[in-house]
């Protein structure tokens, strides 16, 4: 019982570009985003309104958002860690934001300089303002299959944090295997537990592919009816505050797998592959998509 349709959220302009050494010109970011839109991607994480001292690569978040043409049916999502970031996002025209928490105390401290409980407190005023403005809020739980600092993470903690995000008003929570450490049986156990607290339609998978396990883990979770997948074109990505983290699962590889299984995405694979080659050339980095390597 796989879903017949999957919604893809491409996170490459944010997760993909937040961790690379050289800063990427705003125009390259907006060109990438426009290419993703042309390929049929309707949900794109385009920037983050975090502290530029923490993540200098995202310092042009205002410019990126302001330069994107409004497109019917397309959602540009931006990360907001606190009210300050949320207000910057709204001032730049954001209609959808993402808040991010973790199932690991140490990762929460390293990534956002606060405990899990404090991070949830920081989100309360964001949720209030978002509700008043009609802004959609997506939630993240990081370290759902392991933490770079603590190792194994209790599934109960993943469930608790994910449910807290839904209870405070997120329309969906995206489950992050931040350092791509999970394997399919573990992924299955995690998703089976989370689904008891949050229905499958409100869950997304955000798996990094550090150890080549992401597609297998996604397949394991698709069997539970989860039909929202985060991925990154050319397999770009990685969190600067997660030691050893590398790219997200490549969008091209996910789309190839889904189409091969008869699952619809609404995405034109050829155009998607071209977007992956474009950004790889621009940042002079390897294209980590296997499918991208086949279709030049």
> Which residues of this chain interact with ligand HMG, rule CB under 6 A?
15, 18, 48-51, 53-55, 79, 81-82, 84-85, 88, 100, 111-113, 140, 142, 176, 178, 206, 208, 239, 241
Closest C-alpha to 207, from 236, 231, 240: 231
Going through 161-283 in order, the beta strands assigned E by DSSP cover 172-177, 203-207, 228-231
Q: Residue 268, class by beta-carbon neighbours within 10 Å (0-12 exposed, 13-18 middle, 19+ buried)? A: middle
Report the distance separating Cα 142 and Cα 228, nearest Å. 16
Partner in contact with 50, chosen from Mg ion, ligand HMG, none, beta carbon below 5 to 8 Å by kind: ligand HMG
Q: Which is nearer to ligand HMG, 79 or 158 (CB)?
A: 79
Residue numbers 4-43 binding Mg ion by CB under 5 A: 15
Residues near 113 by Cβ (< 8 Å), separated by ≥ 6?
A: none
Is the Cβ–Cβ distance between 7 and 44 less than 8 Å? no
Distance in Å from the first CA to the final CA of the chain? 33
Please pick, among 143, 170, 221, 239, the residue that the annotation labels catalytic: 239
Partner in contact with 107, chosen from ligand HMG, Mg ion, none, beta carbon below 5 to 8 Å by kind: none
Q: Which is nearer to ligand HMG, 54 or 295 (CB)?
A: 54
Helical residues (DSSP H) of 15-82, grouped into ranges? 26-38, 61-67
Examine residue 252 and tell whether it contacts Mg ion (CB under 5 A).
Answer: no
Counted residue by residue, the chain has a size of 296
Partner in contact with 142, chosen from Mg ion, ligand HMG, none, beta carbon below 5 to 8 Å by kind: ligand HMG
Whether 147 is a known active-site residue: answer: no
Report the distance separating Cα 13 and Cα 58, nearest Å. 9
Query: CB of 156: closest distance to ligand HMG in angstroms?
Result: 18
Q: Which is nearer to ligand HMG, 126 or 283 (CB)?
A: 126
Query: CB of 205: closest distance to Mg ion in angstroms?
Result: 11
Q: Which is nearer to ligand HMG, 18 or 30 (CB)?
A: 18
Partner in contact with 48, chosen from Mg ion, ligand HMG, none, beta carbon below 5 to 8 Å by kind: ligand HMG
Nearest residue relative to ligand HMG (C-beta) = 176
Question: Which residues are marked as active site?
Answer: 239
């Amino acid at each position: 019982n796989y879903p017949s349709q999957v919604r893809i959220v491409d996170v490459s302009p944010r997760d993909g570009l937040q961790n690379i050494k050289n800063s990427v010109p705003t125009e390259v970011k907006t060109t990438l985003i426009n290419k993703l839109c042309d390929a049929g991607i309707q949900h794109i994480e385009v920037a983050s309104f975090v502290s530029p001292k923490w993540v200098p690569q995202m310092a042009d978040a205002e410019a990126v958002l302001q330069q994107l043409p409004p497109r019917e049916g397309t959602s540009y999502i931006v990360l907001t860690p606190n009210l300050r970031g949320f207000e910057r996002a709204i001032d730049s025209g954001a209609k959808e934001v993402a808040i991010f928490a973790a199932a690991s105390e140490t990762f929460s401290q390293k990534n956002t300089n606060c405990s899990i409980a404090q991070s949830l407190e920081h989100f309360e005023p964001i949720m209030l303002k978002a509700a008043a403005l009609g802004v959609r809020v997506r939630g993240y739980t990081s370290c759902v299959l392991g933490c770079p600092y603590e190792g194994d993470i209790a599934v109960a903690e993943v469930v608790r944090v994910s449910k807290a995000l839904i209870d405070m008003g997120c329309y969906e929570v995206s489950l992050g295997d931040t350092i791509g450490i999970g394997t399919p049986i573990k992924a299955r156990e995690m998703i089976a537990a989370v689904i008891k607290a949050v229905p499958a339609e409100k869950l997304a998978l955000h798996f990094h592919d550090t150890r080549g396990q992401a597609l297998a883990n996604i397949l394991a979770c698709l069997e539970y009816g989860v039909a929202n997948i985060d991925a990154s074109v050319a397999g770009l990505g990685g969190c600067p505050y997660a030691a050893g983290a590398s790219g997200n699962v490549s969008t091209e590889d996910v789309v190839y797998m889904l189409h091969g299984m008869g699952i619809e995405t609404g995405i034109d694979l050829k155009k998607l592959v071209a977007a992956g080659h474009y950004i790889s050339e621009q940042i002079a980095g390897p294209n980590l998509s296997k499918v991208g390597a086949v279709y030049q």
